Structure 1
């Protein structure tokens, strides 16, 4: 999830907002001001609505921060926390080391939302006892109820919700097999998401357009996320015990920093099937990459411009060694074109890893699974 607005770092973890979170805050504030909060001067009612919506966003951040804190205690790296339209996302790198860690990381989110519900309930009771304004008590009541609802909703047993992670952890502990447990949680999430979409469409048909539309949106998110997680599970399974060298394209076509673009296009790019090319410096190490699209934009009069000038510099994290685990690059999005990483040993180019390499990894894994069935039919 892309961060549109950076809020800062907490414990070294970047925290930010996706633009859709701003839309949610405005929408919640409008609903509170127009339909939920008691009558009051418009300025006071809107101020209370905006503060309540901001506190709600803070509650979501606390939920995700709890995941992050527990994940880091178990050695799982946290890359970022992003709040968006349907909640928050703590981007974790790697997997929990065991089923117990998986359960604790998952359960702390709903537990935190439940704790927030309890805090706001207590504040609501105290505010009422001391004669606080109806706007204040109504806002605290809404925050208490909403955080309680978030805790319960997140306990639904299907990925990508926390309840799906809890289901995965329990099945992992029972079966001793994380992969099959993950597949089961993903399938549960897929079924749950489809049920929500069906329920939302039914609500739309009987006139509940807002509730129906929201339910369809949440169901679509759960369905698409469950599919993505199931594919990710397949990918990790396919990459198990494999090295970068096992999946890379060896000896790729490449260019040199001093090489004119026109000459490179004529002698290499036109004859190559690659979409992106590493660019090598005088020492033999890759320093950048250039894509077919970038080369195609070079004007005819600038054919003498060098590849070093055109190349996009390589990020340090995109240079990997051949003996690193293949899982190292699985979560990387493409860097330029379909390039995921450049493989280097002793400062010399050995290969590249592309999205096609990753897709081939999955296809070959499925072929291996099909071999016993095919052998059985032949027999």
Structure 2
């Protein structure tokens, strides 16, 4: 998941937030300030409720981060590299680079987050009790009690037995230990996640339709996320088994068709775009370095009267927004993101030069060939830029 804002590092792990966090935080603060806190502590000024709500919401965000940090630190203990932690609307994501070495490690990594959340609930409950006993006031007690309840819900919900929830990973770890087959265990956990997601969606719809309660909308959204993520995990397992040993260079389209930053939009459309079936093309500078990508949609926005004098570089999306692949990278590392959508084309670069391109269609074709027992191979794994088409 792409980070909208970087918060810094904890234990060397990059921490960031997705833009959706700001939306959910605003909703949380509004709900706390207008409903939860006034119902538990009457008689305070509106500004006081909003101030306390901001503090409580910030503590909740810290609890989410602690949950994900627990996963990440235990994973790193077992030799799994952690690329980053990103907080978003429905929780957090620890981006792990690799897999646990054995079922016990997988189990402990999965359990770490819920254990921290439940322990956090105990801490907040104890603080609420202490605040009540010391006469700190109902406002503090209400906020701390809310944090305790929410952390119980966070820990308990994550233990439901279905991927991508932590409970699904617990289930996969146990099945891996019993069956001695990691892939089979992950597929079962993925199917369980799809069933769980469907049940959550049905429950949310029933709540909205029969109880006329709009809170069921959140349950429906959550179920939809669980369903899609579980399906993606199941697909990922299949891809890893089917495409084992296949590299990006084996399936890429080469030579690649591309344009230059100094080329006019009219010239590029006439000499390149009209002759190739792609909707997105790499763009290079005069030194042959990849600058970014340009799409037919973006080109169509240039008025026809301006296409002769508009340079391709003026309408190119920068390379930092582009997924760039290495031909030697295993296809299993690139395939899930390509098939999940959002990546219509990925340039393949070797030694600083454009070597080819990979599209979702290339990945789908490679998968279908592998399922037929044929290893995809276009001989591009060691290709250089001599095979690149210039225009």
TM-score bracket, shorter-length normalisation: 0.7 to 0.9
Rounded to whole Å, the distance in 2 between the matches of 1:7 and 1:227 is 31
Rounded to whole Å, the distance in 1 between the matches of 2:243 and 2:214 is 43
8 Å contact from structure 1 (residues 329, 340) kept in 2:
no
Distance 1:126 1:311, change over 3 A: closer
SS of residue in 1 equivalent to 2:187? helix
Rounded to whole Å, the distance in 2 between the matches of 1:308 and 1:210 is 48
- Corresponding residue for 1:237? 241
Match of 2:359 among 351, 354, 358: 354
Rounded to whole Å, the distance in 1 between the matches of 2:299 and 2:279 is 10
Distance 1:303 1:197, change over 3 A: same
SS of residue in 2 equivalent to 1:209? coil
Distance 1:296 1:96, change over 3 A: same
Q: Which runs of 5+ in 1 are unaligned?
A: 370-379
Distance 1:60 1:251, change over 3 A: same
Structure number with greater CO (CA < 8 Å, separation at least 6) is: 2
Rounded to whole Å, the distance in 1 between the matches of 2:9 and 2:73 is 13
Rounded to whole Å, the distance in 2 between the matches of 1:215 and 1:319 is 36
SS of residue in 1 equivalent to 2:87? strand
User: Does 1:339 pair with 2:345?
Assistant: yes
Q: How does 1:1-379 map to 2 (within 5 A)?
A: 1-10=1-10, 11-17=12-18, 18=20, 19-29=22-32, 30-35=34-39, 37-43=40-46, 44-73=48-77, 74-84=79-89, 86-207=90-211, 209-256=213-260, 259-280=263-284, 286-298=290-302, 299-303=304-308, 306-307=311-312, 310-315=315-320, 318-330=323-335, 332=337, 338-344=344-350, 346-368=351-373
* Residue 240 of structure 1, CA deviation: 1.7
SS of residue in 2 equivalent to 1:153? helix
* Residue 162 of structure 1, CA deviation: 0.6
Rounded to whole Å, the distance in 1 between the matches of 2:55 and 2:333 is 42
- Corresponding residue for 2:383? none
Rounded to whole Å, the distance in 2 between the matches of 1:211 and 1:289 is 42
* Residue 78 of structure 1, CA deviation: 2.6
8 Å contact from structure 1 (residues 251, 349) kept in 2:
no
TM-score (norm 1): 0.83
